[in-house]
Structure 1
Amino acid sequence: MDIREEIIYLGKKMVREGLVASTWGNISGRVGPNQIYITPSGMEYESLEIEDITLLDLNGNVLEGKRKPSSEFQLHCEIYKAREDVQGIVHTHSKYASAFAVVRKPLPPLIEDMAQVVGGEVSVAQYALPGTKKLATNGVQALGNKGAVLLANHGVVGVGYNLQEAYKACLLVEKTAHIGVVASSLGVPFSLSAEDVQWMRQAYLTTYGQK
């Protein structure tokens, strides 16, 4: 599948699965070391065509495409600059993850699948206005080497070694946030230990699936 087709497919999927509403959120995929394809600004995902996906360099310059890129292009570009391992980025505004972002509370590794994919606690980036270089800087700093980061009063960003992995990170952050809220009404949730998270993350990267 062409990476642009995959971006469109995942955009439609994240609307169907309730991770975003209408035109919000954004998706990008790396093309070589210094170029990315990214969703356009303010367009409904259901209406997207191949030619709507914009090619940028990592300085945000448009190399190909007729559409204005996502307003969060700086966030995407800065993550790719900082993380050579990242090949795909998905940004969503899912409900329970956003609730943690609103109270500015890090999301602990409560369940195993999230620990495997994300690699531990999801930190909250300091607040900055959307679409700004400051948001990009704060997001990269809080992301570190993890698979996801919460943006204060905003949403969640998932990254991965491909687009599907980035999307999976967003799904599992939302699932974990939901479980955290429910579990807190029953008692005190127990987080997985750092040692167990490290073991599961390494196993996931090296032996899980058809490797």
Structure 2
Amino acid sequence: MRYVEVRREVCMTAREIYEARLVAGTWGNVSAWVDDVMVITPSGMDYGTLSPEDMVIVNGEGEVIEGFFAPSVETPLHLAIYKNRPDVKGIVHVHSPYATAFAVARRPIPVILEETAQAIGHEIPVAPYAHCGSEELAHHVVRTLGQDKKAVLLANHGLITVDVSPSAALRACYIAERTAMITLFAEQIGSINILADEDVKCLYEKFKNYGQKKDR
């Protein structure tokens, strides 16, 4: 079996979004890009019982080259992002409740927290509505992500995040969901205060060097 570690990361990320209640049932999907192929979750299977062997490998045209199951219905969306963003190696799509509330309202999630500025670095915009699994949806998301964004809301649908790995993209999901939740709570108390663009940029750049450095 090829790409054992990548399969394991995609599988474990999928199981985590289910256990963390970022999705319900079989909704949502996770993928990784490696050696010009994509490892993605299978369509319509219980995330709670997935194993690395269940992950599906497709080529750049979406054709299954390894795996026993059909790939996620959002395969065209994932492939479109990878083709447009060479920097992206992991994608996570969730239907978490607070972020999805913003998607239903078709309202961007603002940068109100330092952690949002540090880990995402921008307001999370809303891609126009299109049916799930459609080429039209893929087009809208790719255009809204552009060349530098890490997260986008899908109108009346959910949230998608991109990063250098599935686990890194998952972190952005958690932060986006927390930001959406706190925004809604803060608005019940009073008005929200959005961080200035220059502060967001500064925090994002500083966060790149956050944490312990590896031994040389």
Aligned counterpart for 2:94 among listed residues 92, 95, 117: 92
Matches within 5 A, 1:1-150: 2-32=5-35, 34-144=36-146, 145-150=148-153
Structure 1 residue runs of 4 or more that deviate by more than 6 Å after TM superposition: none
Matched, 1:164 2:167: yes
> Using the alignment, how far apart are the partners of 1:58 and 1:121 within structure 2?
30
Per-residue CA shift, 1:190-209, capped at 9, x if unaligned?
Answer: 1111111111111112x111
Task: For 2:78, give the aligned amino acid.
Answer: H
Map of 1:197 onto structure 2: 200
Give SS of 1:43's match: coil
SS at 1:2 equivalent: helix
Percent of aligned pairs sharing the same letter: 44
Structure 2 distance, partners of 1:181, 1:131, is: 30
Kindly provide the CA deviation profile for residues 84-110 of structure 1, in whole angstroms up to 9, marking residues without a partner as x: 111100000000000000010011111
> Aligned-pair distance for 1:51?
2.3
CA-to-partner distance for each residue in 1:91-140, whole Å, 9 max, x for gaps? Answer: 00000000000010011111111111111100000000000000011011
Identify which range, 117-126 or 46-55, moves more after superposition: 46-55
Contact kept, 8 Å, 1:58 with 1:78, in 2: the verdict is no
Amino acid at match of 2:14: G
Structure 1, unaligned runs of 5 or more: none
* Equivalent runs, 1:171-190 vs 2, <5 Å: 171-190=174-193
Please give the root-mean-square deviation of Cα atoms over the aligned residues, in Å. Answer: 1.1
Q: Distance in 1 between matches of 2:125 and 2:184?
A: 17
Distance in 2, Cα, partners of 1:58 & 1:115: 33
Contact 1:114 1:173 in 2 (8 A): yes
Provide Cα deviations, 1:35-79, integer angstroms capped at 9, x if missing partner: 110000000012212221111122212111121000000110011
- Displacement of 1:183: 0.5
Secondary structure at 2:30's aligned position in 1?
strand
**1:151 alignment partner, one of 151, 154, 173:** 154
For structure 2, which runs of at least 5 residues remain unmatched after alignment?
Answer: none
Mapped partners of 1:123, 1:59: distance in 2 = 28
